[in-house]
Amino acid sequence: MKQLINDVISIFTPQSVKPVLIRADLTHREISSIHPVGFTSVSWATSMEELNDAFVQKALAAGAVGYHITDVESHEPAHDGQHVMAATATLYHINSKVAYG
């Protein structure tokens, strides 16, 4: 949860990007070779936990090792009265030349 809060705060604070890593078995060499490879979005979440879970699932499905939320917007309440959030995130992969070469 602390990492999620830091990730959201980082959206509004200029700093070097440190993605949320979703694999725990990465070596220091692999971590140093992580680079952005694409973007994904979610447009239906009603909580930050749902948003985080959705990005983890999307990152895993894309074979990514991490993600960084870059934009979050809150929209009008859904039919059940909860606000709906839409967000985008950058996905990160390991540079295959460093990791395997």
Residue pLDDT, tens place only, 19-58: 999 998 999 999 999 999 999 999 989 888 999 999 999 9
Residue at 12 is within a domain: no
In degrees, rounded to 5, the angle at the alpha carbon of residue 54 between the alpha carbons of residues 44 and 27 is 155
Residue at 5 is within a domain: no
Instruction: Return the pLDDT at 53.
Output: 95
Residue at 92 is within a domain: yes
Residue at 9 is within a domain: no
Residue at 13 is within a domain: no
Residue at 94 is within a domain: yes
Residue at 2 is within a domain: no
Counts for the chain of helices (H) and strands (E), in that order = 4, 4
Residue at 77 is within a domain: yes
Full residue range of the structural domain in which residue 42 is found: 18-100
Total tally of structural domains belonging to the chain: 1
Instruction: Return the pLDDT at 99.
Output: 47
The dihedral built from the CA positions of residue 49, 63, 42 and 14, taken in this order, carries a sign that is: positive
